[in-house]
Amino acid sequence: MKIGMVSPYSFHVPGGVQFHIRDVAEHLLGQGHHVSVLAPSDEETPLPSYIESAGRAVPLPYNGSVARISFGPVASSRVKRWLAENEFDVLHVHEPSSPSLSMLAMWAATGPIVATFHTSNPRSRAMQMAYPMLRPGFEKLSARIAVSEDARRTVVDHLGGDAVVIPNGVFVDRFAGAGPRPEWQGTPSRPTLAFLGRLDEPRKGLQILTAALPAVLRTHPGARLLVLGRGDAVEALGALADDPAARDAIEFLGALDDDAKASLLRSVDAYIAPQTGGESFGIVLVEAMSAGAPVIASDLGAFRRVLDDGALGLLTRASDPASLAAGVVAALDDPAAARERAARASVAVRRYDWSRVAAQILDVYETVTIGADKVGEDPRLGLLARWRPKAG
């Protein structure tokens, strides 16, 4: 099958959506399908051969984060050229409700079009206001996928219609088979904790974790917190200015590659997910579960579903440092119980392996392409017609 995928966000600073697109593309390529991905990207960003750059992106605040997107006449021209140069059997756009390449591709194409919705935003006034403009594009969709029940609820409430839930995927064996690193492994008197996420993105909850750390250190003074992610470490430590012991317990690792991330999760005594909201799934929980790390997470709806309401990891009240500290202490005080939960999680997490998830996506592709023409350019370009670049 010849598959075209569109990423709304730049691969210059990749996040969960980009990793999802990369992983499913590589799995399908490995199965013998032809896959081409169109994505924003800066010129200096190295890209795999199957990703075509649509040019530079601009930062845009979106859903409590900063999305780097490409939109406008130049981007629409590149989308149309990419569609014209390829005779895709199916076009798969991600997050088409955001002003991005995905929206442009949805408007520009006809034929079998599948959309995946990643965002959980139950009170999005912007999405409600934009729906009349988006509706003609959404009416062309052959199928809708949501990565979680929370993302599906956002689609139903704001965009009408429904979506089939197909979760994010993980190459489970890459994490399960990663080698631990001695410098990241803990001991009973010096346990190690891990946090993954952008340091300057408040909804990732690092500020909640640093506020909880002094209470953890009172009962486990040798504990270390290993922080993986981009951002200003000095600013992240600002709240601990008067607590040198807590500051010294934190080690910032910066941005690590995928292999090092897997090794980190294989090494630590617990993975902490203190997010405050805005999470539609929780892929990093699945990665930690795959690596065998005990998980302690905020009791967000998406996290509850991944952790089977606490059967596969400890849940603590979101945005509550005292609750988080109590959960971390409980896990460190009873490592046998933490390991038991992690063992159950390492079995349950197989449902998120790409071998299963990609098969569900492929089923959707096959359903929408039966008897359908190939993807083509929509002769009713609507708004895009006004953006056609002038000659000369």
Q: What does the pLDDT read at residue 390?
A: 43
Residue 392 covered by a domain: no
- How far, in Å, CA of 305 to CA of 310, rounded? 9
Shared-domain flag, residues 129 and 186: no
Q: Are residues 56 and 162 in the same domain?
A: yes
391 in a structural domain? no
Q: Are residues 198 and 230 in the same domain?
A: yes
**Residue 340 belongs to a domain:** yes
Q: Please tell me whether residues 66 and 176 are part of one structural domain.
A: no
Inside any domain, residue 375: yes
Q: What is the pLDDT of residue 388?
A: 44
- pLDDT value at residue 385: 43
The rounded distance, in Å, linking the Cα atoms of 84 and 183 is 52
Residue 293, domain member (yes or no): yes
> So what's the pLDDT on residue 112?
98
Shared domain check, 122 and 234: no
Is residue 237 domain-shared with residue 252, that is, in the same domain?
yes
**Cα dihedral 306, 274, 168, 52 in deg (nearest 10):** 180
Q: What is the pLDDT along the chain (392 residues), one digit of tens a residue?
A: 999 999 999 988 778 899 999 999 999 999 999 999 999 988 788 899 999 999 888 877 665 566 778 888 889 999 999 999 999 999 999 999 888 999 999 999 999 999 999 988 755 555 555 556 677 888 999 999 999 999 999 888 888 789 999 999 999 999 999 999 999 999 999 999 999 998 988 899 999 999 999 999 999 999 999 999 988 888 888 778 788 999 999 999 998 899 999 999 999 999 999 999 888 899 999 999 999 999 999 999 999 999 999 999 999 999 999 999 999 999 999 999 999 999 999 999 999 999 999 999 999 999 999 999 999 988 876 544 444 444 43
Q: Same structural domain for residues 34 and 145? A: yes
Report the CATH number at residue 218: 3.40.50.2000
* Residues 163, 18 share a domain: yes
Residues ≥6 apart with Cβ < 8 Å to 236: 199, 200, 206, 207, 210, 227, 252
Give the pLDDT of residue 134: 73
How confident is the model at residue 288, as a pLDDT? 98
Is 102 contained in some domain? yes
Q: DSSP string of 207-234?
A: HHHHHHHHHHHHH-TT-EEEEESSS-HH
> Which pTM was predicted?
0.88
Supply the pLDDT for residue 198.
87
Domain around 266? 172-350
257 burial (CB, 10 Å; 0-12 / 13-18 / 19+) is exposed
My answer on whether 191 and 116 are in the same domain is: no
Query: Do both 19 and 115 map to the same domain?
Result: yes
- Whether 139 maps to a domain, the answer reads yes
For residues 15 and 111, membership in a common domain is answered with: yes
Domain membership of residue 73 (yes or no) is yes
182 CB burial (10 A radius; 0-12, 13-18, 19+):
exposed
Q: How much is the pLDDT for 387?
A: 42
Of 155, 153, 31, 17, nearest to 92 by C-alpha is 17
Count of structural domains, the chain: 2
Q: Do residue 287 and residue 220 come from a single domain?
A: yes
